[in-house]
Structure 1
Amino acid sequence: MTAVLAPTGADVAAPPRPRRRGVRAAQAATAAVVLGAALHLRLDWSALPGLPSAVAHYLWLMFADPDWSRLPYALAQTWVSVQMAWAGALAGVVVATALGLAAARGVGPGWLRLPLRALFAVLRAVPEVVIAIVILTVTGLTPFTGALALAIGGVGTHAKWTFETIEALPDGVAEAVRAAGGTRSAIVRWGLWPAAAPELASLALYRFEINVRTSAILGVIGVGGVGDLLTGYTQYRQWDAVGVLVVVVVVVTMAIDAVSGAIRRRITKGARARVVERTG
């Protein structure tokens, strides 16, 4: 065997020192933006010491003696918010999946992908509350307005998740369908969709979880649900009723998150293997 001699220290050139001017410039710009925002907002730093006691005071008002007689009505309004979230998630996921597939590289043509991605970016930049305020002039202050706002607002995010999931798939299956003479629709149906469906189903459930929390915020503008009820009780300083609403919202949201998370894990990872003991 021929011995390979390692180069001596004189033959190895030291690597150049990394230039950190760009990093330092970004750090300085970030610090300047944060400082400028703090100065522009004119924050009252003198109120910070009294903040913990004020929070403790209102927590005591809410949870010292909650008015549990409001529980049935709170549950009914929370169910309205869940229905709003589910309808918005279902409509938004259906539309976003179709548009997201068309916006994926290798599926839709370039003249279609770029406008769709620009549309998704615009929708992601507009909060659901703003969308609801715009469309309530047509639909009125109803839960349908909230569901429609959640559907439109969810299209931008879920469509982005869809085309990113499609583009992250291995090329083998799609290439096999293409080599067999399959059309673009056949590639999507038999090559891309079966591989992407579990991940897209998981993301759809995650969209529903987000909508449940957002629906409570939409209620603030009067489209119904638990947020509308919470706003009314807060304005009239009915803190014992607010405490009941907070408990209901937290419990229902955590329960939905737990169930949805378990379903998403089952979809993406499959059932857990069980050890079966053999007897005899």
Structure 2
Amino acid sequence: MTLLTPTSRREGQHVTTTPTPPTRPSKLWSTLIAIVVALVILVATGTLDIQWRDLPEMPGQIWHYLQLMFTSPDWDRLPRALFEMWRSISMAWIGAILCVVVSIPLGMLAADGVGPAWLRTTLRVIFAVIRAFPEVIIAIILLTVTGLTPFTGALALAISGIGQQSKWTYETIESLPTGSTEAVRAAGGNVAEVTRWALWPAAAPSIISFALYRFEINIRTSAVLGLIGAGGIGSMLANYTNYREWETVGVLLIVVVVITMIVDTISGAIRRRIMEGSRARVVATDL
């Protein structure tokens, strides 16, 4: 005797079972998350005191100031603008070098298999704390010690970059293949020898590429630091904006955009060459 379930029926001598449809997944959590996000947006919008009636007039105002800045730029200010832009680039370069010198050793010590557990945890917490502070806040803190100088901006860029560059470094180390590391250890190498002969040669192209990318970020940030008195093109831009000399402001913006694009193009080409050379060496080694 065959027992039939509610989803079964007899057909001749065979029993056919009707498949039970799967249970629909619950959308409770996704709905709650959507409600929370919507509430956050509403609260944030309500506390910003936005004058919604002024929004339709903003495109016209922006177009008006663009005309003031770029209709007849004051090209007599170009030599001074180029000099101040050079100071901003110098600030960014010094900050990038200081960042690399400090962050690469610390980042390698923070990688798994290199430093002890207590040191890795301590360093990663320090890096996270540094990343939590924007460059402008770091520069304001340093102003009380170093004063309103471009060196303040360079230090702020260096300190801020340590948190990010160190994170890139230990993540790069941890993503490397383990073959060369195991080979050096099998030959009797200690941690320092493994780092020198296995980890660093494989990670150097990526780390150097990240350092160049950090330099590109520093150039953009150095202009912002100049707005608080750290020197460079940002300080000049803030001064002429306060005095409403829009023809000079237009020249400064043109210089910032053009020079930044040129530096990005050169740095990007160097980074691509470094990474392509690294891949070529890896392929040659595999062959």
2:56 is paired with a residue whose SS is coil
Cα RMSD of the aligned pairs, angstroms, is 1.9
Aligned identity (percent) is: 58
Which whole-Å CA distance do the structure 2 matches of 1:103 and 1:12 have between them?
54
- 2:260 — aligned with what? 253
Gaps of 5+ in 2: 1-15, 281-287
Provide Cα deviations, 1:252-273, integer angstroms capped at 9, x if missing partner. 0000001000110111113999
Structure 2 counterpart of 1:178, from 185, 192, 215 = 185
Provide Cα deviations, 1:85-121, integer angstroms capped at 9, x if missing partner. 0000010111111111011111111100111111111
With over 3 angstroms needed to count, the CA separation of the structure-2 counterparts of 1:15 and 1:106, relative to structure 1, is: farther
TM (norm. structure 2) is 0.89
* Alignment size in residue pairs: 266
Query: In the alignment, does 2:137 pair up with 1:127?
Result: no
| Cα distance, 1:70 vs structure 2 | 0.1
Provide Cα deviations, 1:140-181, integer angstroms capped at 9, x if missing partner. 100000000000010001111111111111111111111221
With over 3 angstroms needed to count, the CA separation of the structure-2 counterparts of 1:17 and 1:42, relative to structure 1, is: same
Structure 1 counterpart of 2:234, from 227, 232, 239 = 227
What letter matches 1:100 in structure 2?
A: G
1:169 is paired with a residue whose SS is coil
Provide Cα deviations, 1:235-261, integer angstroms capped at 9, x if missing partner. 000000000000000000000001000
1:221 is paired with a residue whose SS is coil
Which whole-Å CA distance do the structure 1 matches of 2:28 and 2:172 have between them?
36
TM (norm. structure 1) is 0.91
2:227 is paired with a residue whose SS is helix
Gaps of 5+ in 1: 1-8, 274-280
Q: Which has the larger radius of gyration?
A: 2
Which whole-Å CA distance do the structure 2 matches of 1:15 and 1:261 have between them?
51
Which whole-Å CA distance do the structure 1 matches of 2:32 and 2:124 have between them?
31
Structure 1 counterpart of 2:120, from 106, 113, 121 = 113
1:104 is paired with a residue whose SS is coil
With over 3 angstroms needed to count, the CA separation of the structure-2 counterparts of 1:12 and 1:90, relative to structure 1, is: farther
Is 108-117 or 229-238 further displaced after alignment?
108-117
What letter matches 2:258 in structure 1?
A: V
